[in-house]
A and B are shown apart, each in its own frame.
Chain A
Amino acid sequence: MSTIKPHQPVPGTTIFDGEQARKGYALNKMCYSFNEAANRAAFLANEDSYCERYGLNAEQREAIRNRNVLQLIAAGGNAYYLAKFAGIFRLDMQDIGAQQTGLTKDEFKAKLLAARGE
């Protein structure tokens, strides 16, 4: 008998629950540090040593190296913290949406507009 809830039941969606929060703690903690300009600069100056300081595992380090949002989520990243990482590279939410959905930015914007249903 299990009391574990059905895992990740919404397609294309990773619910950020306790399991993800545990897995992603170091990664999200690093992203949280990017609230401060000095930390953003330190990351850009030496990415390897900055990631090492936060104890990222190999999967997280690779996802950061690839600037790949789906990999970052799989490695436990939370959208609100990953946004601070994306901000370092001046990526906006349509850049990030396009990357995750395999669309061009214009195609992704068209998808948003289509939600008007007019």
Chain B
Amino acid sequence: MAKIVGTVSTSHIPAIGGAIHKGLQNDPYWKPFFDGFPPVRDWLATVRPDVVIVAYNDHGLNFFLDKMPTFAVGAAAEYSNADEGWGIPVLPPFQGDQALSWHLIESLVGEDFDLVTCQEMVVDHALTLPMALLWPEQNWPVRVIPVVVNTVQAPLPSAARCYKLGQAIGRAVASWPGDERVVVLGTGGLSHQLDGERAGFINKDFDLKFIDSLTANPAWATQYSTLELVELAGTQGVELLNWLVARGTLPEKARQVHVNYHIPISNTASGLLVLEPEG
């Protein structure tokens, strides 16, 4: 049976793309952020994933407001990155896993998640940059399945619904007869707000509580409405919904493997968390 060997949750700030391109990993501004990742890469070398399911939000590359799915799952043989408008370098394409994608879709729709399915999709920095942080050589030794969550246009799916989607993904993987080892990657956040007079809002206290909750009390954040999450984490901090999808794929009991938190990268409090299923 396929198995989820762990989750990685990380910020996906576009400026990371520029920093990678310019080789600024040891620059004093960037070092506290990039130094979070070698332990994750060591961990990946031990858990040896075949497939990465990536929960993220599209920022207006694949989806426009003409058609905005609440949840969408990729079912393509390959996913390309493309120009997003502000000149971060385009990264190499990712190999998909169509068989497992369709199994996920069958299983999730079977559990009443009314998904949009995508046989063609381009993937933006929210997928590509976390992948490049995990595999800096960008040779992608894994197949990828995108799971896209609407964090752009209200009404957003609730935190509780995102957590349940993760749980359903966990069950779908567990019911797949292959022997794939799967990592679930959730990207975005943590607290930040780009727009309005409240731009620059960061909430360290909330972020640390949220990170902490994911190990032993994973449903903690589901007590909040998406509007309350905007108030607590900022208009784009609500991207933490993707972390909840990832966390939901693990059993209730999980073990913290690695954590990093740093303020600020661009306008964002950056977070990084690796969890493994306990037992």
Contacts and interface: CB of A to CB of B under 8 A. Distances in A.
B263 A78 contact: no
B15 A73 contact: no
Given A35-B84, A84-B60, A15 B227 contact: yes
B202 A115 contact: yes
B42 interface: no
B194 A12 contact: no
A97 B194 contact: yes
Contacts of A59: none
B59 A35 contact: no
A40 B176 CA distance: 45
Interface in B1-46: 14-15
If over half of A's interface residues share one DSSP class (helix, strand or loop), that class is named, otherwise mixed; here it is helix
Contacts of A14: 195-196
B135 to A, nearest CB: 25
If over half of B's interface residues share one DSSP class (helix, strand or loop), that class is named, otherwise mixed; here it is loop
B87 interface: yes
Interface in B48-87: 59-61, 64-66, 82-87
A87 B17 CA distance: 14
Contacts of B85: 34-35, 40, 83-84, 87-88
A45 interface: no
Interface string A26-58: 001101101111001000000000000000000
3 smallest CB-CB distances across A and B, nearest first, come from A87-B86, A12-B198, A84-B85
Interface of A: 9-18, 21, 25, 28-29, 31-32, 34-37, 40, 69-70, 73, 78-84, 86-88, 90, 92-94, 96-97, 100-101, 108, 111-113, 115-117
29 contacts: A11-B198, A13-B195, A16-B235, A21-B153, A28-B60, A28-B65, A29-B66, A32-B60, A35-B60, A35-B85, A70-B197, A78-B60, A78-B65, A78-B153, A79-B194, A79-B195, A80-B59, A87-B87, A90-B87, A93-B15, A93-B266, A93-B267, A96-B194, A101-B197, A101-B199, A112-B202, A112-B263, A115-B203, A115-B263
